[in-house]
């Protein structure tokens, strides 16, 4: 994920345990070819649905254009983490809201619309046609 206002870059570890670590790249980034250590800024905990580990394996994430929330998707669910101060760090400990899932096989992508009014998902299935799905936010 890339924060749209600060440019901070984040990575979420994909696990099947229900708890994934969220890391931030150092800023400024080191010179090319330099080894760098990511900074752990928190953990994301998701509910295990019907004993299915695919319901907690985060496959994609995106920061809202306002920077105060972010989406995560798994193979079975979509969640939005809402913060209070315009940072990913406040959103990770803020409110987790379950959103409409687009029920795609091999769901591997998610992104907000530019104005934040919707989000899009796309499956990584093996054969065309590939359908971009839009979910309007209420």
100-110 pLDDT per residue, tens: 887 887 888 99
18-29 pLDDT per residue, tens: 999 999 999 888
Which residues have CB under 8 Å from 107's CB, separation 6+? 59, 60, 73, 74, 75, 101, 121, 122, 123, 124
The Cα 41–Cα 14 span in angstroms is 15
Q: What is the mean pLDDT of residues 68-73?
A: 96
The Cα 134–Cα 43 span in angstroms is 28
Nearest to 11 by CA among 19, 20, 52: 20
**Backbone phi, psi, residue 42, to 5°:** 160, -175
The Cα 13–Cα 22 span in angstroms is 7
105-127 pLDDT per residue, tens: 788 899 999 999 999 998 887 67
**Given the structure tokens 């299915």, which residue do they identify?**
52
Contact 73, 46 (CB under 8 A): no
């Amino acid at each position: 994920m890339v924060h749209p206002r600060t440019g901070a870059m984040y990575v979420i570890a994909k696990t099947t345990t229900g708890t994934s670590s969220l890391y931030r790249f150092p800023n400024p980034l080191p010179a090319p070819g330099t080894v760098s250590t990511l900074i752990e800024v928190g953990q994301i905990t998701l509910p295990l649905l019907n004993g299915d580990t695919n319901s907690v394996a985060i496959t994609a994430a995106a920061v809202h254009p306002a920077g105060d929330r972010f989406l995560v998707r798994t193979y079975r669910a979509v969640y939005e983490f809402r913060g209070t101060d315009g940072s990913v760090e406040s959103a990770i400990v803020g409110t987790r809201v379950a959103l409409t899932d687009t029920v795609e096989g091999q769901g591997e992508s998610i992104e907000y619309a530019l104005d934040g009014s919707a989000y899009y998902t796309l499956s990584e299935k093996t054969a065309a046609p590939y359908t971009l799905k839009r979910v309007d936010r209420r």
